[in-house]
Structure 1
């Protein structure tokens, strides 16, 4: 019997520095209503969905950036999202900047079930960028200044009728992200991203190549772990800084089955059969039968490259 999760990938266009949480949530609610009208029972929003991509702004006093963080989830500004999702009988996932009661800072995402209950939290592990202001870059990318690396690992949750996982933006480029969840039987990975259209280290790398690497990473992760991947962008020009689109849904064969054109607010909806993950998991990617962990030691035993002597 099929296990269908009808997913809405809800891209957000640019969020300007001056926009309030309430203004952004109103846009998210409109996308949720559109997704409901198209039959979705799970909606996925981007990384840092409630604010502009603030790590591009340098604050000498690190604490000045705390205004971009959420000290509670839900809070009054985002409670309408939880209420509307519950009314629609829809699960959701979105990313935000998390400030813990202990004063720690994470780039986080949550998974909410159809009852409006938070059933999972993920904190971004593969933080890109740098800590201090770098005048040689085309733009600043200060995630390492404002966030700690995630401390929750790559968990998988049994919800929405299947095994669900999350990751965020740069995580999608690392095969370990997918494999750790794959070893827990993950059937669907949802992820949001805010990816600059320009490589701060390589200005000649154009949008076409940026999108190629994005699709390559997501498709490889889906295929090599026989799972669905839903990747959702925040896109467009935020106060003069451009983010690329590329919102898409990939099936367990690594094929793009839906992709959103443009850089504005928008939704693509696809019925994802979680049972489609079984063939790959039981054949070429039957991990128990084919993995040879006695040869994989360097993956967890070292960080950087060690060349042979």
Structure 2
């Protein structure tokens, strides 16, 4: 029997700084109801879905900064989303800023959770590839301070859920081939990726016209090269004066886009995904056991200033331009 999973993209339009969490959760609940009416088993929301994208500001007051983070999940503001998931039998992926006290110290992560159709958290992921910068850069039109406000997560894992093997990533993770490959090596059949991506790239403005293209390119390449479905969902539109891309889409293991959001507003789109279709690629072109040759990839590590191959042999590295 073919395993089908009906997946909804819950793309969010802008969230302004004055918008409270309760109003955002109401929007998300409305989208979950629409997703259920369209036959979805799970809905995917964006990265940092509960607030405006606060890393665009340099914030020195810790109390002001803490207000953008969640210290528990669910909490009073998000509980209606969990309750509705349980009522409708629809699971969800949700990105948010997490503030955790671990080993007696305050830690901050860009986090996503996976919630079952019973309203129960079944997996958590903390973003690995943090973009941007750590110090105030006044020359920028707006900041991108993820390196200041978050620490990297420990790595990528998969969860057996919704009848298949599911992975999670966040935003900048989607640009790195390692994200998909590490998930693919664990048998991942579908990866959920929420993102917030401004149109303008301050260090490389020549990329601005390519922002949407690069987004879809990364999602398609990751899907095809690892024989998995990839669901990328944006928070889009003009938020606090900053225009962000939309382009939320669902990509098949073939690399083909099978569903795409058309606006930069709140929008729900659904695709019926055959998880068994992954095997067409995992057992042929991208059969890792048969065709992948990790011994030839020359894994490089650093030790005391030396560059070493995987077997510990020192490597001579030529500087760029020589």
User: TM class, shorter-chain normalised?
Assistant: over 0.9
Q: CA deviation at 1:93?
A: 0.4
Counterpart residue number, 1:160: 162
Measured against aligned partners, the alpha-carbon deviations of 1:128-162 in whole angstroms (never above 9, x if no partner) come to 000111022232100001000112x1000011100
1:70 corresponding residue in structure 2: 70
SS in 1 for 2:34: helix
> Could you state the TM-score of these two structures normalised by the residue count of structure 1?
0.96
**What does 1:91-240 correspond to in 2, within 5 Å?**
91-102=91-102, 103-151=106-154, 153-207=155-209, 209-240=210-241
Structure whose alpha-carbon radius of gyration is higher:
2
Displacement of 1:265 after TM fit?
0.2
Aligned counterparts of 2:27 and 2:164: Cα–Cα separation in 1: 29
1:243 aligned partner: 244
RMSD: 1.6
Give, in whole Å, the separation in 2 of the partners of 1:62 and 1:101.
15
Structure 2 distance, partners of 1:245, 1:228, is 19
1:197 Cα offset (Å): 0.9
Offset from partner CA, 1:226-252 (integer Å, 9 cap, x none):
000000000011111111101000000
Once residues 318 and 14 of structure 2 are traced to their aligned partners in structure 1, the CA distance between those partners, rounded to angstroms, is: 43
Distance 1:49 1:158, change over 3 A: same
Aligned counterpart, 1:254: 255
Superposed CA deviations along residues 155-199 of structure 1, whole A, max 9, x for unmatched, are: 000111000000000000000000000000000000100000111
**The residue matched to 1:141 in structure 2 has which SS?**
coil
- Report the TM-score, using the length of structure 2 for normalisation: 0.92
Alpha-carbon offset, residue 204 of structure 1: 3.6
- 1:61 corresponds to which residue? 61
Contact kept? 1:94, 1:110, Cα under 8 Å: yes
Q: Do 1:97 and 1:108's aligned partners in 2 also have CA atoms closer than 8 Å?
A: yes
1:75-121 Cα deviation digits (max 9, x unpaired): 01000000001111111001000011232100000001111111100
2 CA distance for matches of 1:307 and 1:240?
Answer: 44
Classify 1:206/1:12 alpha carbon distance in 2 versus 1 (closer, same or farther; 3 Å): same
C-alpha displacement of 1:63: 4.8
- How big is the shift at 1:296? 2.1
Structure 1 residue 293: Cα displacement: 1.2
Gaps of 5+ in 1: none
- Measure, in 1, the Cα distance between the counterparts of 2:38 and 2:318: 53
Secondary structure of the 1:180 match is helix
Seen in structure 2, the aligned counterparts of structure 1 residues 234 and 300 have a Cα distance that, compared at 3 Å, is farther
Q: CA deviation at 1:299?
A: 5.7
**How far off its partner does 1:200 sit?**
1.1
Conservation of the 8 A alpha-carbon contact between 1:138 and 1:201: no
Residue 13 of structure 1 is matched in structure 2 by 13
Please identify, of 15-24 and 61-70, the stretch whose mean Cα deviation from structure 2 is larger. 61-70
